[in-house]
Structure 1
């Protein structure tokens, strides 16, 4: 038997995050990768998993505490005598989850331990605190009304969402009693209990009533999402979405709805640049580093951001945050969905260094080993479909950025040189931009300048 320390792993560029859920208690038996606590920043929530299997001997954190990378979470007794305490922090990887906005009027939350409480303070059992009130509520609540509109999107951790899916519980209709109105496991269980004990006749009558506009997460005034029994039309099978798609889907939905997108399309003549790229790879074949066109586009993006600084900004209320660093994200396709690793300080790196770093990050993405620090801090993103095909598309801006460049597969096209048509390799560009920050003229100039850099890469040194 060995006693090891389980610590908070790398959580990216957040100094401190608050503990909003404690999922285990002393004496619990946990598995490797089982979630221990849920933490939340102003942008996202994430679950901190256990690096080993074992028995929880002592909790060192409490609900409401502030933790950062390296903070001690608990002491774990494992059967592996060779385990060392330092391995706990090195192997644990937290997966960020899209944070749902908190309701304007926060529900009454269970008492939380102050952040200043000592590490040895006992953990408040939120389920035990909420149980008496929930039992009273269950006795006086009317039967469940399907389709009742929710005031806000459900605020729950991924483990609670999975638990609710297994029970068929619509989280949008569950009122949270946890910290900041967060939905707990007890809230889900109490909802099921309320529905099961309600009058079947009342439920049937209410189910026949017209659904209220804006229910099922729709916007006010819109019809609810259609409920279809697909099985009656033919054979079907159900498959859970990957964790990455669930997280990115919620973020993409928010970004598309909130940001007023406009997309400009253009073409870049990359005939000479492609020839130069091929030559570089032949000359440096022994180095093992393969230069891709995306590496040149990252350098071109840096130059364009320097020339048009409003593209290297983020909205913060009524102010613009102008960034003096240049971190460029690129979309990486993985078996579980798209992720966006970030090349940090791309202005200080050459083409070969960027190509090598892109290759390493893309491999980590495919292996599912990207950490939060690898995907945060981006200023501008590039989404390339060049290896697949297509002509133009509308990439969705990766908030809090204000623009994203989409590129498709280059094709040979005839271009008039003043005397005759010449075959030229043309790269389609699709620049999406936030109309709250950028106007049409600036976007057109940015796209033209970006294309001119790819057409004659010597311009990048000017």
Structure 2
């Protein structure tokens, strides 16, 4: 009896992923829920557990291949790996004696653009791994394409020789378009001779001279950082370079002592040009830039500001934080106060918690709060669902758990979608004032900033108070100025007198 291993749900709007690493090989025994392989999307890493116990009989999608949701990755069987052993010898036997082999005829075949995913109609040719005249085996990677969301590696449809490249690096190709022409039947015979020469030629392209393909996300990260593969130590299977390896190498490079300065001399434009590096933006980075600008162009975004005296919240936290942590097992931070204050204000100004859908306004009778969190890979916004029905302790536990999963890169796509309002705390990085950008289709985002002691006039006297600037960016198409100001004033009032939260005032 065989059990299929299929691609799990990757999250809303994510239709495909790249097979990054197989932890098992055909013939290995596996237990139920044991990790079989790891997939990479443009945002998160997804681990695929074994759906049943048995033996990994076959791997259908190899490392580096792009797969869609519910696509077949492999098979698990209780009868061992007899299935995948049959095709392996046929690759090494003489092609002329295999009448059923299609790669022995020497016919011209097209290399086509694979399915790019729903709503993705074009891609850019990023890298050709083979040049005209090179031979290869079936499923060996020929080139890599970049789309708006993910990198797509194009495998060889059969063993053969690359005869003509039709779409060169940097060119844009349509879904279903032709990339190159190949002649089948020559790659299988030429491969053994080529494999003896390959190590010397491929050594600079991979860490330690290993003939492995690095993760697509790692290649893009190296290109953006200006690092070569020999500057990064791969921790993946067979020395494969992963995205985290690039981050570590970049961090080590920044922390290394600078070289002694050269002797002063007259600068020249040529010297500056020699020290510059021009790297083409990846399609993913271009899409991020485009969508951020689209957010400004689509929404009538406006920001209103206020300031809050944090004296009462800080005193309340100082008084109860030890008892709170002892009882609930979670630290009492400021985020639960701000979350509660925002929920309180959203009830009074529901427009800030609504969104525009065509010519309709969709009012949300619930609050799914997005909490922006910084990670080594960048800013992510995990969503705490139904936060309006949660206690202070439940909010603090959820924020701590989501924050840890974000830093570990374990958030799923589902955990970062569906938010109705967002809080961004730039104060942890020292920001005194900023204007946050909306996260469409949300209509509001609250920016928190640094708590700083400032002289304030209190009852006619100058007092030193811990003050924080607040910024609310909102979509003026749906939220009027009065509603935005009212929202921010209600947040300010709730924080300056937390008892109002208990009294629902």
Same fold (TM over 0.5): yes
Residue 294 of structure 1 and its aligned partner are, at CA, apart by 1.2
Structure 1: how far apart are the matches of 2:299 and 2:154? 29
1:84-130 Cα shifts (integer Å, max 9, x gaps): xxxxxxxxxxxxxxxxxxxxxxxxxxxxxxxxxxxxxxxxx993999
| TM-score, scaled to structure 1 | 0.59
Partner of 2:150: 158
Q: Give 1:441's match in structure 2, choosing from 472, 482, 495.
A: 482
Aligned to 1:174: 172
Alpha-carbon distance in structure 1 between the residues aligned to 2:290 and 2:79: 42
| C-alpha spacing 1:54/1:241, structure 2 compared with 1 (3 Å) | farther
Closer, same or farther: CA 268–18 of 1 in aligned 2, 3 Å: closer
Aligned-residue offset at 1:423? 1.9
**Aligned counterpart, 1:281:** 321
Distance 1:360 1:246, change over 3 A: farther
Aligned to 1:6: 5
Q: What do the CA deviations read for 1:27-69 (whole angstroms, capped 9, x no partner)?
A: xx9993357xx9xxxxx999988668984459xxxxxx9x6xx
The higher radius of gyration belongs to: 2
Taking a change above 3 Å as real, the CA distance of residues 336 and 320 of structure 1, as seen in their structure-2 partners, is same
Higher RCO (C-alpha under 8 Å, 6+ residues apart): 1
Instruction: Please give the per-residue CA displacement for 1:236-265, whole angstroms capped at 9, x wherever unaligned.
Output: 568899999777555433323322211111
Shift of 1:419: 3.0
Q: Which structure is higher in strand share?
A: 2
> Equivalent residue for 1:296?
337
Contact 1:330 1:342 in 2 (8 A): yes
One of 305, 310, 315 as aligned partner of 1:270 = 310
Pick which of 346-355 and 407-416 moved more.
407-416
**Distance (Å, rounded) in 2 between the aligned partners of 1:82 and 1:374:** 38
| C-alpha separation in 1, matches of 2:297 and 2:112 | 35
- For 1:262, what is the secondary structure of its paired residue? strand
- Could you say what secondary structure the match of 1:32 adopts? strand
What is the distance in 1 between the residues matched to 2:470 and 2:174?
Answer: 45
Per-residue CA distance 1:384-440 (angstroms, 9 max, x = gap): 022221221010101110110001111112222233112222111011011111122
TM-score of the two chains, using structure 2 as the length reference: 0.54
Deviation string, structure 1 residues 287-324 (Cα, Å, up to 9, x no partner): 53111111111111111111001111111001111111
**Structure 2: 5+ residue runs without aligned partners?**
20-24, 27-35, 51-55, 62-67, 82-109, 116-145, 156-166, 182-268
Q: Taking structure 1 as reference, are residues 81 and 259 closer, same or farther at Cα in structure 2, changes over 3 Å only?
A: farther
Aligned to 2:275: 235
Secondary structure of the corresponding residue to residue 455 of structure 2: strand
- CA change 1:363–1:3 in 2 (3 A) is farther
Shift of 1:366: 0.4
Confirm or deny that 1:456 pairs with 2:497. Answer: yes
The question of whether the paired residues in 2 share the 8 Å contact of 1:33 and 1:51 is answered with no
How do residues 397-416 of structure 1 correspond to structure 2 at under 5 angstroms? 397-416=438-457
Structure 1 pair 445/129, CA: closer, same or farther in 2 (3 Å)?
closer
**Within 2, Cα distance between the matches of 1:177 and 1:230?**
42
CA separation of 1:309 and 1:177: change in aligned 2, threshold 3 A: same
Q: Against the structure 1 CA distance between its residues 257 and 82, is the aligned structure 2 distance closer, same or farther, given a 3 Å change threshold?
A: farther
- Work out whether residues 456 and 464 of structure 2, in 8 Å CA contact, stay in contact via their aligned partners in 1: yes
Distance across 2 between alignment mates of 1:295 and 1:176: 48
Displacement of 1:7: 3.1
Q: CA deviation at 1:189?
A: 5.2
Do residues 326 (structure 1) and 367 (structure 2) align? yes
The match for 1:342 is 383
Please tell me whether residue 127 in structure 1 is matched to residue 167 in structure 2: no
1:74 and 2:72 are equivalent in the alignment: yes
5 Å matches for 1:30-45?
32-33=37-38
Compute the RMSD of aligned alpha carbons: 4.6
Preserved CA contact (<8 Å) 2:446 2:472: yes
Partner of 1:430: 471
Of 407, 411, 415, which residue of structure 2 is paired with 1:374?
415
Q: How many pairs are equivalent?
A: 325
SS in 1 for 2:429: coil
Q: Cα gap change, 1:330/1:21 in structure 2, threshold over 3 Å: closer, same or farther?
A: closer
Alpha-carbon distance between aligned partners in 2 of 1:405 and 1:160, rounded to the nearest angstrom: 37
Deviation at 1:371, TM superposition (A): 0.3
